[in-house]
Amino acid sequence: MADIVLDKVTKRYPDGAVAVRDVDLEIADGEFVILVGPSGCGKSTTLNMIAGLEDITSGELRIGGQRVNERAPKDRDIAMVFQSYALYPHLTVRENMAFPLRLAKVDKETVRRKVEEAARVLDLTQHLDRRPANLSGGQRQRVAMGRAIVRNPKAFLMDEPLSNLDAKLRVQMRTEVSRLQRKLGTTTVYVTHDQTEAMTLGDRVVVMRAGVVQQVGSPQFLYDHPANLFVAGFIGSPAMNFLPATLEEGVLRSPLGDITVTDRVRRLLTDAGAPREVIMGVRPEHFEDAALVDEQSLARGVVYRGQVDVLESMGSDKYAYFSVEGERARSAELEELAADAGVADLSSSGVGTVVTRLSAASAAREGERVEVFFDPDKVQLFDPNSGRNLTYAGD
Amino acid sequence: MALTGGADTTARKAKWWFVNAVVVVYALVPVLWIASLSFKTKETINDGNFVPREWTLENYRAIFGTSEFVRALVNSIGIALIATAIAVVLGTMAAYAIARLDFPGKRALVGVSLLIAMFPQVSLVSPLFEMERGLGLFDTWPGLILPYITFALPLAIYTLSAFFREIPWELEKAAKMDGATPAQAFLKVIAPLAAPGVFTTAILVFIFCWNDFLFAISLTSTERSRTVPAALSFFTGSSQFEDPTGTICAAAVVITVPIILFVLFFQRRIVAGLTSGAVKG
Ligand SMILES: Nc1ncnc2c1ncn2[C@@H]1O[C@H](COP(=O)(O)OP(=O)(O)OP(=O)(O)O)[C@@H](O)[C@H]1O
Ligand SMILES: [Mg+2]
């Protein structure tokens, strides 16, 4: 077990493309760190550099305090779980899991004991003598995990290990991975595309965009205090609503109405040197049906009255969609997020949409007008040009 | 069309069956005819019967009785095996590099090997003849093995690189992560998976060398290195005045049978994809 330090690590591919730029990251011993970001942002490249499968163009990688830039993967003592599992098709499950131990010249009896121990933990005992081709997706996934854990490596690297599983199995394996990591306490770097995996699995989340780290922090911190538009839009599901707004003498003029800026926010804005034109962001879950909010809160908050375009009832709560007047908020980061989510076509329709999550008790109906309440203190404001969070309260 | 009537399907099947039958008959009749001739006696050889009226093994006894044929058979087997082994080893290395590495001149290499495969061999016979005489390779085993390797290599490289491309790249990465050196990764993971491909290629190359007539007839002059296809054309029968048809046919059957057996026997192994199950699929 060991800590992993990336010190200004950069990767430039031979064709000139810079996949990863100046990444600084300190992963503590035993920590579970998640790398997230849209497709092509350099997550796999970063992981492969830690693994030793890709050369580091510049910067330094230290594992357990030692520089390992020049070390071959086999000398780094790190195990990796691949998205495709990469099981050896000509070997049985037992031989697959024993492979790293046999290469390490561990004696037969120990190999047998360790493989059987891992198989027991992963519930693979009855499949030990089968070949990968005859296993289900979930079982193959567990064999891949087994091959990684048998030799107690210094760290685990996982590249979207669950993305080939169906939704139900993914949830099950997610808890499995979490349980296993907690039990073994091995430093883990986990790459994913998936919101839920990023939020639930890791001690810390690293959000990347185009090869650059945007923000590092605990899932809750990133949710509460996104450093910029990109992180704000990436973390949270459904995504944060973004609307253009104007700051005028302590009042925020927005499509949701005029909002008096609270003292706390005013101070942050002054410190950040906020421009007049801003982008405001409100999370869907910070809205509530005004009819269900007590008088006291109502008095402190903002009420928006609009017609519900679409209402989705999830049982536990309801999602109400509104079209608001005026343009959508525009910024390069938002376009990129939309493209990654596959909703780029939405950006062509100029109208702003707002998604709100209301309690199941709400009486909102499709096509009817309804009043929704939100707390102005939960509103985040961003600089449309740099994407910087103007209300960022972190350090 | 998803909704094809039963009658329609039957008619179509019958049509395909008929076409296939015609093709197979067209291809097989001459072969069977040769086989039939090889079992006929001298007296009945010209009777035009498809099935011999009198069966005999005399022709086979005759060819194995002559040193000419036995020597040619030894030459054929030896030369084809050596050429195959060398071509497959070189081809494996080249194909692995082509499938897995990006190096300058890769396209040129592939282009040149394609060019060699397309080159009309007959135009090379005279220069080769002269060169081999000059180098003292004429009428020797290496004199045939060398051109065989040259012309079999493109075939080997193509077949093998197709097989190598099928092997998931990630398996090699996984092996490296599991602590293997590059050599161990190749020997323990890539080689076992490539084995069916290497085997298939070896069979194809062997057949190519085994069947060659052009080089065999032009670059040999004595029993020292003459292979069976060339030796066949020198058959005279047991006496000067005898018609050699029966013995030639017997020899032809002897060299055809191993190929047929090869193909029948290894067909399934060749087709079976060992790589299934390596990745999610
Ligand atoms: N071998 C390569 N040569 C050149 N460019 C590459 C190579 N591999 C990746 N890239 C580029 O580097 C960037 C990062 O790729 P990477 O595979 O790390 O992305 P990723 O974040 O893992 O994406 P995904 O979520 O789709 O797996 C991409 O823009 C990609 O085009
Ligand atoms: Mg990737």
Q: Which two tokens stand for residue A45?
A: 């490249």
Rounded-to-integer distance, Cα A349 and Cα A355, Å: 16
B193 contact residues in A (CB cutoff 8 A): 89-90
pLDDT of res. B266 = 75
Instruction: Report whether residue A17 contacts ligand 1, using a CB cutoff of 6 Å.
Output: yes
| Helix, strand, coil content of chain B in percent (nearest 5) | 75, 0, 25
Residue B105 has pLDDT above 90, yes or no: no
Coil vs helix vs strand at A214:
strand
Comparing C-alpha atoms, which of B207, B188, B205 is closest to residue B197?
A: B205
A193 lines ligand 1 (CB under 6 A): yes
What residues of A are in contact with residue B173 (Cβ under 8 Å)?
Answer: 53, 73, 80, 82, 86
Q: Are residues B171 and B121 in the same domain?
A: yes
Range of the domain at B75: 64-278
CB spacing of A99 vs B175 below 8 angstroms: yes
Per-residue buried b or exposed e for A347-359, using 16+ beta carbons within 10 Å of the residue's own CB: eeeeebbbbbbbe
Confidence (pLDDT) at A13: 94
Closest ligand 1 atom, residue A46 Cα: 18
Asked if B99 and B29 sit in the same domain, the reply is no
The answer to whether the CB atoms of A88 and B280 lie below 8 A apart is no
Using the beta-carbon criterion (under 8 Å), do A80 and B280 form an inter-chain contact?
A: no
| Nearest residue, CB atoms, A74 vs list B180, B193, B277 | B180
Q: How far is B193 from chain A (nearest CA, A)?
A: 7
How far does the CA of residue A41 sit from the closest CA of chain B (Å)? 20
Say how far apart CA A279 and CA A252 lie, in whole Å: 10
Count how many domains chain B has: 2
Distance from the CA of A79 to the center of ligand 1, in angstroms? 21
Let me know whether B35 and B107 are in one domain. no
Is B174 in contact with A88 (Cβ distance < 8 A)?
yes
Contact (CB<8Å) A78/B177 = yes
**pLDDT greater at residue B133 or residue A237:** B133
pLDDT at A156: 95
pLDDT for the residue numbered B239: 58
Give residues with Cβ within 8 angstroms of B163, minimum separation 6. B95, B194, B196, B197, B198, B200, B201
Q: Are residues B47 and B150 in the same domain?
A: no
Residue-by-residue pLDDT tens, chain A, 395 positions: 689 999 999 999 999 999 999 999 999 999 999 999 999 999 999 999 999 999 999 999 999 999 999 999 999 999 999 989 999 999 999 999 999 999 999 999 999 999 999 999 899 999 999 999 999 988 999 999 999 999 899 999 999 999 888 888 888 889 989 999 999 999 999 999 888 899 999 999 999 999 999 999 999 999 999 999 999 999 988 899 999 999 988 899 999 999 988 888 888 888 888 899 999 999 999 999 999 999 888 888 899 999 999 999 999 999 999 998 877 888 888 888 888 776 644 444 556 889 999 999 999 999 999 999 999 889 999 999 999 999 887 66
> Is B84 found in the same domain as B13?
no
* Per-residue pLDDT at B104 exceeds 80: yes
Residue to mutate (ligand 1; options A10, A12, A39, A41; most atoms within 8 A of CB): A41
How far does B182 lie from chain A, in Å, by closest CA?
10
**Do B258 and B129 belong together in one domain?**
yes
Do B126 and B38 share a structural domain? no
Distance A339 CA to ligand 1 centre (A): 17
- Shared-domain flag, residues B14 and B153: no
Which of residues B34, B56, B78 is at a domain's end? B56
Ligand of minimum distance to the alpha carbon of A82: 2
Predicted TM-score (pTM) of this structure: 0.79
Ligand 1 and A38: CB distance under 6 A: no
| B48 lies in the same domain as B116 | no
Question: Residue B144 sits in a domain of what CATH number?
Answer: 1.10.3720.10
The residue-averaged pLDDT of B138-146 equals 94
Kindly report the number of other CB atoms within 10 A of residue B130's CB atom.
11
The protein residue whose alpha carbon is closest to atom 26 in ligand 1 is A39
The residues pairing with A310 across neighbouring beta strands, listed in sequence order, are A321
Spatial distance between the Cα atoms of B140 and A253, rounded to a whole number of angstroms: 96
pLDDT band at B24 (very low <50, low <70, confident <90, very high): very high
The pLDDT, as a whole number, for residue A200 is 92
pLDDT surpassing 70 at residue B6:
no
- Which residue owns the Cα nearest ligand 1 atom 14? A42
| Contact between chains at B278 and A147 (C-beta distance less than 8 A) | no
* For residue B230, pLDDT beyond 50: yes
Contact B174 A82 (CB under 8 A): yes
What's the CA-to-centroid distance between A382 and ligand 1, angstroms?
A: 29
Taking residues B143-169, report their average pLDDT.
89
> Smallest CA–CA separation between A114 and chain B, in Å?
15
- The pLDDT-based confidence of B265 (bands split at 50, 70, 90) is confident
The verdict on A136 touching B (C-beta cutoff 8 Å) is no
Specify the pLDDT at position B275.
39
Cα of A14 vs centre of ligand 1, distance in Å, is 12
Select the more confidently predicted residue: A31 or B164.
A31
> Based on the domain organization, do B35 and B72 belong to the same domain?
no
CB of A382 closer than 8 Å to CB of A281? yes
Q: Which atom of ligand 1 is nearest to the CA of A42?
A: 18
Q: Is A165 in the pocket of ligand 1 (CB under 6 A)?
A: no
What is the chain B residue with the closest CA to A132? B277
Q: What is the mean pLDDT of residues B72-78?
A: 94
**One domain, residues B164 and B228:** yes
The residue out of B14, B29, B56 marking a domain boundary is: B56
Say which DSSP state A107 is in.
Answer: -
B166 Cβ under 8 Å from any chain A Cβ: no
> Same structural domain for residues B28 and B109?
no
pLDDT of B276 above 70: no
